[in-house]
Structure 1
Amino acid sequence: MDSREGVARADSATLVSRTVRVPDASLSGLLRTLGKPTVVWAGPSEPSVAGYGAAVQVTADGPDRFAAVRERASEVFESADRPADAPAAARPRFVGGFAFHDGHAGTGPWDGFPTAAFVLPHVQVVTTSEGTWLTVNAHGANASEATVAETITSVRERFDPDERPVGRPPGVVETARTTSRAEWREQVAAATERIRAGELEKVVLAQALDVTLADAFSLPDALQRLGDAYPSCFRFALRPADGATFFGASPERLVTREDADVRTGALAATVGRGETPDADRRLAADLRSSAKYRHEHEVVAERIREQLADVATAVETGERRVRALETVQHLFTPIAASSDAHVLDLVEALHPTPAVGGLPPDAALRVIRETETFDRGWYAAPVGWFDAAGDGTFAVALRSALADGTRVRPFAGAGIVADSDPDAEWEEVQLKYRPILDVFERGERE
């Protein structure tokens, strides 16, 4: 199938974009006021973006999906009618993501999620430390400044952000596993046997939970709780079609490109958090000193440097350190480079990193397809945004879940190497579920 099948083409179309300042608002306040969004993005040290509707939607399938999205978006941006003095933070952005596998089917719980889907929002609200801006985008033969102005007026008339406190967690009624503990042991044993046989060096295997809530999922509340608990993570919510929302708070930046400056990093090797400060420090010391953890981490860092080699120059590696999150600690090495390539070219070069796929990549992907008992869909895949200059930020969609009404499916995984212990890896996966489950579970006093 052609990569751009299903994408409306309008060669004579113009993108009309206008921006106005609106009263300051939090991300959760915006979401409660303006309703169910199409896309949401909030990264550390970046503007928060809430998008509604689609001035343009781009979908793609197959191995050339990255190039197809880039080419179609470039056609749209080339036609842009936008004032030169418009605020840079409020510029039009495509927001969306990709499936982990290029052969993604988009069925079952992933119905409505193609192999790649990006939206240029019709209504885009951006919040920064300096203010909040409303941008309205229209595209097509009939797009005009007058129609954009009408939409701006309509949104401003109802722009009264609802800043009430986060609501009570909905509560968890039932949890079912897609992979039993016995099945997991068999999967890890089979993977380690293939690793010892020399077929591959590492593979990342994942699991999922099917969670039933007592009350319906609230995206504003979920993202607010994730932001409070994980302020240094990338929060996102994507709904390419009516139905489920894919959301999460990822600790892992895949790549950022800004004026040819490229930032990425290796985030691999995981231990839990201690119940006391001393226990926490001992776990961090073990993470630093363990030959197994150091090797697992360095394999990822070296592969990322290799992946960047064809699309970037001046690749530099920073000092390895421990990055502590609410429930786990990871080894992290920052990596910087320079590149004139579009951020989507960088995304294509880097996905999947060994931290979510394995090594060698083709062998690891084959083992994942043959082993996992569920469809990981967009889990552990690139999600993010890009603009007309080819700048943008993408995260790896970890600590994530699909949600629809009272049904939620969280995902988590663990890296398997030759000496991996199935029970230890099982416990690591359970730790990685906690960020999502904590959003919904009620405490004893609630």
Structure 2
Amino acid sequence: MGAPQRDPVAVGEGLVSRAVQIPTPPFRAVLADATTPRTVWSAPGEATVVGSDAAATLTANGPDRFRRIRDRAEALFETGDVHAGTEAACPRLFGGFAFHDDGAERPPWTDFPGARFVFPRVQVTYADNGTWLTVNAVGPDATPEAVETRLEEERERLANLPDPGPVGDPPGVTDRTRTTDLDDWCTGVNAAVDRIRSGELQKVVLAQALECSLEERLSIPDILARLAEKYPDCHRFLVEPASGDASFFGATPERLVTRHGRTVETGALAGTTGRGETPAEDEWLAEELMDSEKNVHEHELVADAIRDQLAPFAASMSTGERTVRRLATVQHLWTPITAELARDEHVLDLVEALHPTPAVGGLPPEKALDTIRDTEPFDRGWYAAPVGWIDAAGNGSFAVALRSAVSTGDVATLFAGVGVVADSDPDREWDEVQLKYRPILDELEN
């Protein structure tokens, strides 16, 4: 485990980063050999990154955590001595935020603050133009000579990693503990529906947690490899604290926002049905979803809110056609939204404006958050919150941490939620939650 790191903003120290192209080492071998805290980011159309150790760590708590992380990131990158060779290998911060402003203090979230970003000491980037090794340093030892020496050492070490062999089988589940039983769930959903019908709410997203005891300790490299094979079109991520034994990971279908220059991409993902056992049944379910008044209403609430949240930043905005997005276990309604910024904005300003979208919170936002706190008997922690990366230019990419779990050794806690609107049925919403557990649960059960 890496030594505790000083906040570079507090001590005013510079940054040195060097990168070199290398032969491609196996992803699982790189991750298995990485030093805590490990990070992984892999998204459609983006490079896959594995981070090892922390050259610097930025943390924040409270309602101003987005601004504080942004300010500290800008200070960290301000004095950088960077030679990357390609944009994909440039130094980046990886991390995320808690769902609620005050974070969570109860297990399994004890080591996850309101916001935490890691500047990896060693970063391996799998990009379209090859594989790149980046070494970063911050502090008194952050000299070009020291970093270049470490770069050569890491290049040799990665070249000699052993073959990881075939991907291991799921660890197996021996027991399950629900945070919410069916009776309590029905009571909570019906109470939320009453609030919606009275006009207090338009929509609220209610979630459940499922604690799974495992037969064997979970292999993070193996489960991420299995998720990559099954969900190649999803955002896959891993975030670990520097202390403790926890790993937060997932394969989420929902992008929160991507900013590159003044171009912003986001979208609405809401409204769900299952997959059919035959192509004909699959198509029938998709058509039923597209024609569902309840699901289309829920989806349009989300799309309208995202456009409203983005509008203050945008010089122009366009909305694509609503379609059905098919995943391995579910189908969702999906509407892409793009915008051109009126001026330069840091990606974290956009993240703060968009979180939580109505797809994971509700409308009006404050009333929905109050309902979530009143109803859910567990801490969301980082579930359904933004996870992603930022760079020196204020660019970045963030996903909503759905289809996710936090593991500690031989226990994994899964999370899933559903949108509740005026005509929601508690039993059908219960079934949808169980469906949304499947992407992670399938990779735990043997």
Q: Which TM-score band (shorter chain)?
A: over 0.9
Q: Which residue type is aligned with residue 437 of structure 1?
A: L
Moved more, 136-145 or 321-330: 136-145
C-alpha deviations, 1:19-43, integer Å up to 9, x for none? 1122113422321343555211011
C-alpha deviations, 1:209-249, integer Å up to 9, x for none? 01011011001101011111100000000012322110000
Separation in structure 2 between the aligned mates of residue 333 and residue 126 of structure 1, nearest angstrom: 30
Q: Which residue type is aligned with residue 393 of structure 2?
A: A
Moved more, 123-132 or 412-421: 123-132
Separation in structure 1 between the aligned mates of residue 197 and residue 10 of structure 2, nearest angstrom: 54
1:110 alignment counterpart: 109
Checking the alignment, whether the CA contact within 8 Å between 1:113 and 1:241 is kept in structure 2 is no
1:3 alignment counterpart: none
Separation in structure 2 between the aligned mates of residue 94 and residue 34 of structure 1, nearest angstrom: 17
Moved more, 264-273 or 121-130: 121-130
Checking the alignment, whether the CA contact within 8 Å between 2:36 and 2:240 is kept in structure 1 is no
1:78 alignment counterpart: 78
Separation in structure 2 between the aligned mates of residue 9 and residue 36 of structure 1, nearest angstrom: 22
* Match runs of 1:38-437 below 5 Å: 38-83=38-83, 86-159=85-158, 160-161=160-161, 162-242=163-243, 243-339=245-341, 340-437=344-441
C-alpha deviations, 1:282-335, integer Å up to 9, x for none? 110001111111111111100000000112221110011000101110000000
Question: 3-state SS of the aligned residue for 2:153?
Answer: helix
Question: 3-state SS of the aligned residue for 1:110?
Answer: coil
Separation in structure 1 between the aligned mates of residue 178 and residue 10 of structure 2, nearest angstrom: 46
Checking the alignment, whether the CA contact within 8 Å between 2:57 and 2:119 is kept in structure 1 is yes
Separation in structure 2 between the aligned mates of residue 39 and residue 106 of structure 1, nearest angstrom: 22
C-alpha deviations, 1:78-127, integer Å up to 9, x for none? 110013x6211100000000000001133321011000000111111111
Identity %: 57
Separation in structure 2 between the aligned mates of residue 354 and residue 59 of structure 1, nearest angstrom: 26
Q: CA deviation at 1:128?
A: 1.4
C-alpha deviations, 1:391-418, integer Å up to 9, x for none? 1100000000001111000100000111
> Where does the alignment leave 5 or more consecutive residues of structure 2 unmatched?
1-5
Separation in structure 2 between the aligned mates of residue 76 and residue 103 of structure 1, nearest angstrom: 25
Q: CA deviation at 1:275?
A: 1.2
- State the superposition RMSD in angstroms: 1.4
Separation in structure 1 between the aligned mates of residue 54 and residue 424 of structure 2, nearest angstrom: 45
Separation in structure 1 between the aligned mates of residue 33 and residue 100 of structure 2, nearest angstrom: 36
Q: Which residue type is aligned with residue 237 of structure 1?
A: L
Checking the alignment, whether the CA contact within 8 Å between 2:37 and 2:54 is kept in structure 1 is no
Separation in structure 1 between the aligned mates of residue 25 and residue 44 of structure 2, nearest angstrom: 17
> Where does the alignment leave 5 or more consecutive residues of structure 1 unmatched?
1-5
1:13 alignment counterpart: 13
Question: 3-state SS of the aligned residue for 2:126?
Answer: strand
Q: Which residue type is aligned with residue 147 of structure 2?
A: V
Q: Which residue type is aligned with residue 320 of structure 2?
A: G
Separation in structure 2 between the aligned mates of residue 171 and residue 276 of structure 1, nearest angstrom: 28
TM norm structure 1: 0.95
The total of aligned residue pairs comes to 436
Q: Which residue type is aligned with residue 154 of structure 1?
A: E
TM norm structure 2: 0.95
Separation in structure 2 between the aligned mates of residue 260 and residue 59 of structure 1, nearest angstrom: 27
Q: Which residue type is aligned with residue 142 of structure 1?
A: D
1:440 to 400, 419, 444: 444
Checking the alignment, whether the CA contact within 8 Å between 1:267 and 1:297 is kept in structure 2 is yes
C-alpha deviations, 1:188-222, integer Å up to 9, x for none? 01111111111111100000101011011001101
Question: 3-state SS of the aligned residue for 2:108?
Answer: helix
Separation in structure 2 between the aligned mates of residue 424 and residue 26 of structure 1, nearest angstrom: 42
Q: CA deviation at 1:11?
A: 4.4
Q: Which residue type is aligned with residue 339 of structure 2?
A: A
Question: 3-state SS of the aligned residue for 1:62?
Answer: coil
Checking the alignment, whether the CA contact within 8 Å between 1:97 and 1:382 is kept in structure 2 is yes
C-alpha deviations, 1:155-183, integer Å up to 9, x for none? 22321343422112111111110111111
Checking the alignment, whether the CA contact within 8 Å between 2:123 and 2:135 is kept in structure 1 is yes
